[in-house]
């Protein structure tokens, strides 16, 4: 495993450093003129390792909840930063998962018309997926991720040892996005991570290699289409269904687990529409199921699921933009008219295939 990954963006290159001493180093020499925004749970768990950081002049602890990345909470965050004398040229530093990333990235994009930011991702999902790609997404009222920008960080520091304290559901959520990006890379890539899947729970070095590998696959896609106008759309594999499942269960299912079910559902749909052979669905079903069935089965209210799916912002009229695998298991974007046949297929999946 190489120690760094450089990503090209419209604001120039930025680097993800794989460095298990990064947090220790940060704490030993806390830079001046930085403002920390830290996941409150991480601050508690790592209070010892981060004691100098936590005692520095500008620290804001935020609980990682969807409500806390809602637009109206930003008044409080901006007031806090003003009270700490925020100026252009200073740096915002995020420590936490995707929620801290979204909050700090959005502030960095808009505060004083743009500030540099850096990121210490602490969840598997953030380390293996969201930390690169430049996106910020925040909620307005009940509408998730409706405001956003493309604002890459200056630097990302990946400390995989902090993953040891993640709850299992959060760990599986990150694994879901890792399975996704490997599926996009192709069947051989997916089969490799599927074979190693059980060991990812116990083998730190192997996990680190797959985190690096996941980012390397994503890097090629976002460099080709940073602004999500073309090829990057395939990263939404599992996401139309996943978002609808999250929304229908009131966010009871963690994002990456919903995406895992969403990929299985996409494969099932493709099989039932005759777009691909049943063997592709059957090949991917066991590893996907292994990832989502470690999570207690929630009841999926079908009508909520359908209304959430049809409201998804990536859809135009009654046409649904779906990311489905083709006959070679290649992930492709297509437009499908929502009709009784699709409703039937998805009802079958949710009532008969999922958690049978």
Q: Residue 230 or residue 334: which is nearer to ligand NAD going by CB?
A: 230
Instruction: Tell the smallest beta-carbon distance from residue 255 to ligand NAD (Å).
Output: 5
- According to CB under 6 A, which residues from 61 to 120 bind ligand NAD? 64, 66, 69, 96-99, 101-102
**Dist CA 225 CA 322 (whole Å):** 18
Cα dihedral 103, 105, 110, 111 in deg (nearest 10) = 70
Q: Indicate the burial class of 301 (C-beta count within 10 angstroms; 0-12, 13-18, 19 or more).
A: middle
Distance of CA 179 to the CA centre of its chain: 12
136 is a contact residue toward ligand NAD (CB under 6 A)? yes
Instruction: Tell the smallest beta-carbon distance from residue 296 to ligand NAD (Å).
Output: 17
DSSP-derived secondary structure for 39-93: EHHHHHHTTTTTHHHHTSS-EEEE---GGGGBGGGHHHHHHHHHHTT--TT-EEE
Candidate segments 164-172, 183-191, 321-329, 345-353, binder of ligand NAD by CB under 6 A = 164-172
- According to CB under 6 A, which residues from 259 to 298 bind ligand NAD? none
242 is a contact residue toward ligand NAD (CB under 6 A)? no
> Which residue do the tokens 């950081």 mark?
53
Q: Indicate the burial class of 11 (C-beta count within 10 angstroms; 0-12, 13-18, 19 or more).
A: middle
Say if residues 264 and 288 touch (Cβ distance below 8 Å): yes
323 is a contact residue toward ligand NAD (CB under 6 A)? no
**Dist CA 315 CA 313 (whole Å):** 5
Q: Strand 117-121 and strand 155-158: pairing?
A: parallel
Q: Residue 133 or residue 238: which is nearer to ligand NAD going by CB?
A: 133
The mark string for 189-208 relative to ligand NAD (x by CB under 6 A, - otherwise) is --------------------
Token output for 93: 């530093």
Q: Residue 218 or residue 280: which is nearer to ligand NAD going by CB?
A: 218
- 3-state secondary structure (DSSP) of residue 298: coil
**Dist CA 57 CA 52 (whole Å):** 10
Say if residues 333 and 315 touch (Cβ distance below 8 Å): no
Instruction: Tell the smallest beta-carbon distance from residue 332 to ligand NAD (Å).
Output: 22
Say if residues 335 and 319 touch (Cβ distance below 8 Å): yes
Out of 165, 279, 319, 351, point to the residue binding ligand NAD (CB under 6 A). 165
Instruction: Tell the smallest beta-carbon distance from residue 254 to ligand NAD (Å).
Output: 6
Instruction: Tell the smallest beta-carbon distance from residue 65 to ligand NAD (Å).
Output: 8
226 is a contact residue toward ligand NAD (CB under 6 A)? no
Out of 170, 226, 246, 264, point to the residue binding ligand NAD (CB under 6 A). 170
Out of 58, 70, 118, 123, point to the residue binding ligand NAD (CB under 6 A). 123
Q: Residue 98 or residue 325: which is nearer to ligand NAD going by CB?
A: 98
Candidate segments 35-43, 108-116, 204-212, 306-314, binder of ligand NAD by CB under 6 A = 35-43
249 is a contact residue toward ligand NAD (CB under 6 A)? no
- The backbone region for 325, taken as left when phi is positive above 0, alpha when psi lies in -120 to 50, beta otherwise, is beta
Out of 26, 108, 135, 288, point to the residue binding ligand NAD (CB under 6 A). 135
Instruction: Tell the smallest beta-carbon distance from residue 69 to ligand NAD (Å).
Output: 6
Residue 23 CA neighbour count, 13 Å, CB half: 24
308 is a contact residue toward ligand NAD (CB under 6 A)? no
Out of 27, 173, 233, 240, point to the residue binding ligand NAD (CB under 6 A). 173
Query: Which residues form the interface with ligand NAD (CB under 6 A)?
Result: 39, 41-42, 45, 64, 66, 69, 96-99, 101-102, 122-123, 125-126, 130, 133, 135-137, 145, 162, 165-166, 170, 173, 255
């Amino acid at each position: 495993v190489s120690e760094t990954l450089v990503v090209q963006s419209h604001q120039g290159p930025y680097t993800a450093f794989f460095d298990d001493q990064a947090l220790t180093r940060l704490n030993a020499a806390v830079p001046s003129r930085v403002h920390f925004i830290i996941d409150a749970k991480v601050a508690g768990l790592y209070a010892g390792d981060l004691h100098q950081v936590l005692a520095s002049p500008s620290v804001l602890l935020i609980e990682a909840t969807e409500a806390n990345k809602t637009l109206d909470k930003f008044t409080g965050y901006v007031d806090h930063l003003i009270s700490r004398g925020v100026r252009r040229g200073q740096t915002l530093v995020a420590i936490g998962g995707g929620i801290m990333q979204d909050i700090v990235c959005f502030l960095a994009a808009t505060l004083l018309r743009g500030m540099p930011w850096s990121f210490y991702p602490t969840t598997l999902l953030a380390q293996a997926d969201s930390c690169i790609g430049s996106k910020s997404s925040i909620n307005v009222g009940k509408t998730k991720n409706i405001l956003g920008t493309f604002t890459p960080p200056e630097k990302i520091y990946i400390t995989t040892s902090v993953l040891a304290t993640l709850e299992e559901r959060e760990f599986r959520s990150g694994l879901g996005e890792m399975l996704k990006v490997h599926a996009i890379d192709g069947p051989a890539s997916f089969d490799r991570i599927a074979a190693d899947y059980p060991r990812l729970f116990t083998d730190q070095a192997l996990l680190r290699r797959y985190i690096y590998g996941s980012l390397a696959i994503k890097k090629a896609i976002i460099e080709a289409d940073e602004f999500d106008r073309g090829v990057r759309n395939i990263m939404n594999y599992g996401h139309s269904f996943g978002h609808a499942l999250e929304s229908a269960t009131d966010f009871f299912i963690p994002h990456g687990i919903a995406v895992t079910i969403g990929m299985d559902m996409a494969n099932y749909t493709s099989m039932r529409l005759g777009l691909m052979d049943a063997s592709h669905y059957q090949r991917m079903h066991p590893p996907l199921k292994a990832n989502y069935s470690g999570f207690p089965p929630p009841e999926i209210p079908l009508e909520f699921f359908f209304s959430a799916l049809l409201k998804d912002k990536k859809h135009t009229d009654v046409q649904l933009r779906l990311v489905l695998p083709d006959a070679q298991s290649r992930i492709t974007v297509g437009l499908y008219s929502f009709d009784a046949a699709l409703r039937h297929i998805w009802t079958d999946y949710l009532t008969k295939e999922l958690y049978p």
